[in-house]
C-alpha cells in the first residue's frame, strides 16, 4: 500500500493561520502529478510549531480533501510518548491510513528508551506505523539492532531512514530482512537507497518536482536503470537547493516563487536571504526534466 514517491507536505500559512485553500490546492497538484501518498504535519509541515488543535485539524483537512484517492500518512511524532499516542489515536479517528513518527528528540533516549517509546505507541493505537530515523534533527540514532526489534511489532510496518549512511542502511536491511518496508528520507540518495531494497521515498523535493521524483521511484521499481539515473541527475541541483537552510525554509520559498502560497514561516524559522532567494530562483529556472518544468510566478 505504501511505496513510490510520498510527499512530506509543506503547510501554507496566511496571516499566522493555516491557509486551507492553498493547502487543498497543493494536495490536488500532488495527486494530479501521480504522487503515491502524502504526509501532512511532519517536519516539512512545521509540525513543531503547530498547536495540538492545528495539528489534528491539518490531518483532518487532508483526509477529507484526498477522499481516498491516495493514502494519507499522518505525522504524529513527538519527544513525549503520551503526546505521540494522543496524536496517533487522533489520526486513526480522523481516517488516516498510517502514521509517521519521528524518533524522540532532545531527550536523548537510550536505544531501550527508543524501543519502548515506539512499542508503547504501537500497542496503544492499532494503526500502521512508520518509524523515522533522522539523527541530524533528533540527536539520536536508531541502531540496526533496535530497528530489528521494532520490526517484530505487528503494526510497525516501515522505517523512514534519513541518515544518508548507506553502510548503516545496509546493516539495517541485513538485521530486518523482509520484516519492514524501507523508505528513504534523503532526496539526494533515493536511487542507491532503492537499489539496496528500499520501496520509495518520503520526499521534500516532490513538493515542487513531483513528476520527476515519481519517475525516479517508478523507474527503480520497474528496473529501468537508465530512466532512474536521468531523473536522479535532473533533480540533483534542485535537491541541493532544498537544503541550503533547514527544511522547509527553501522548499517553502520555492512554492512561493511559483505562486502557490505565501512565503510565511513560523518562528524560529526565518526566510532565505535575498541572495539565497536569487540563487534558488536561478536553480529553479535552470531545472531540466523530461516530464516537468518549474514555472515561476
At residue 1, does pLDDT exceed 90?
no
Confidence at residue 177, expressed as pLDDT on a 0 to 100 scale: 87
Contact 200, 187 (CB under 8 A): no
User: Cβ distance 51 to 145 under 8 Å?
Assistant: no
Asked if 150 and 171 count as a contact pair (C-beta separation under 8 A), the reply is no
Average pLDDT of 36-40?
A: 98
Where do the domains of the chain lie, and which CATH numbers do they carry?
4-222 (3.20.20.70)
Q: Which of 56, 115, 132, 252 is catalytic?
A: 132
Among candidates 158, 252, 141, which has minimal Cα distance to 197? 158
Q: Does 160 participate in catalysis according to the annotation? A: yes
How much of the chain exceeds pLDDT 70, in percent? 100
Report pLDDT digits (tens) over 84-130: 999 999 999 999 999 999 999 999 999 999 999 999 999 999 999 99
- Residue 259's pLDDT is what? 98
pLDDT digit string, tens, across residues 142-184: 999 999 999 999 999 999 999 999 999 999 999 998 999 999 9
pLDDT in tens, 132-141: 999 989 999 9
Contacts of 29 (CB under 8 A, 6+ apart): 210, 260
Query: For 189-228, what is each residue's pLDDT tens digit?
Result: 999 999 999 999 999 999 999 999 999 999 999 999 999 9
Query: What pTM was computed for the model?
Result: 0.96
- Cis amide bond preceding 248, omega within 30: yes
Q: Which of 56, 92, 160, 252 is catalytic?
A: 160
Q: Model confidence over 45-84: pLDDT tens digits?
A: 999 999 999 999 999 999 999 999 999 999 999 999 999 9
Amino acid at each position: 500500500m505504501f511505496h513510490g514517491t510520498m510527499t512530506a507536505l509543506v503547510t501554507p500559512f496566511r496571516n499566522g493561520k493555516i491557509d486551507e485553500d492553498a493547502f487543498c490546492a497543493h494536495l490536488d497538484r500532488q495527486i494530479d502529478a501521480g504522487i503515491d501518498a502524502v504526509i501532512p504535519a511532519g517536519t516539512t509541515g512545521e509540525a513543531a510549531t503547530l498547536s495540538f488543535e492545528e495539528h489534528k485539524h491539518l490531518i483532518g483537512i487532508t483526509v477529507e480533501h484526498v477522499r481516498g484517492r491516495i493514502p494519507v500518512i499522518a505525522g504524529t511524532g513527538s519527544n513525549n510518548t503520551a503526546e505521540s499516542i494522543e496524536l496517533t489515536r487522533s489520526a486513526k479517528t480522523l481516517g488516516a491510513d498510517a502514521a509517521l513518527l519521528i524518533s524522540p528528540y532532545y531527550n536523548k533516549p537510550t536505544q531501550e528508551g527508543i524501543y519502548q517509546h515506539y512499542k508503547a505507541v504501537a500497542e496503544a493505537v492499532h494503526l500502521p506505523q512508520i518509524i523515522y530515523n533522522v539523527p541530524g534533527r533528533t540527536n539520536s540514532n536508531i541502531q540496526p539492532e533496535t530497528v530489528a526489534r521494532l520490526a517484530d511489532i505487528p503494526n510497525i510496518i516501515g522505517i523512514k531512514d534519513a541518515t544518508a549512511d548507506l553502510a548503516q542502511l545496509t546493516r539495517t536491511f541485513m538485521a530486518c530482512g523482509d520484516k519492514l518496508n524501507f523508505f528513504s528520507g534523503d532526496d539526494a540518495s533515493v536511487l542507491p537507497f532503492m537499489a539496496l531494497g528500499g520501496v520509495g521515498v518520503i520526499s521534500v523535493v516532490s513538493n515542487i518536482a513531483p513528476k520527476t521524483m515519481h519517475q525516479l521511484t517508478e523507474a527503480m521499481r520497474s528496473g529501468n536503470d537508465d530512466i532512474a539515473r536521468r531523473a536522479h541527475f535532473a533533480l540533483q541541483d534542485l535537491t541541493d537547493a532544498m537544503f541550503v537552510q533547514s527544511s522547509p525554509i527553501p522548499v517553502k520559498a520555492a512554492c512561493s516563487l511559483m505562486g502557490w502560497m505565501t512565503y510565511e514561516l513560523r518562528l524560529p524559522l526565518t526566510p532565505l536571504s535575498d541572495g539565497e532567494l536569487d540563487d534558488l530562483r536561478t536553480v529553479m529556472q535552470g531545472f531540466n526534466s523530461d516530464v516537468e518544468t518549474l514555472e515561476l510566478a
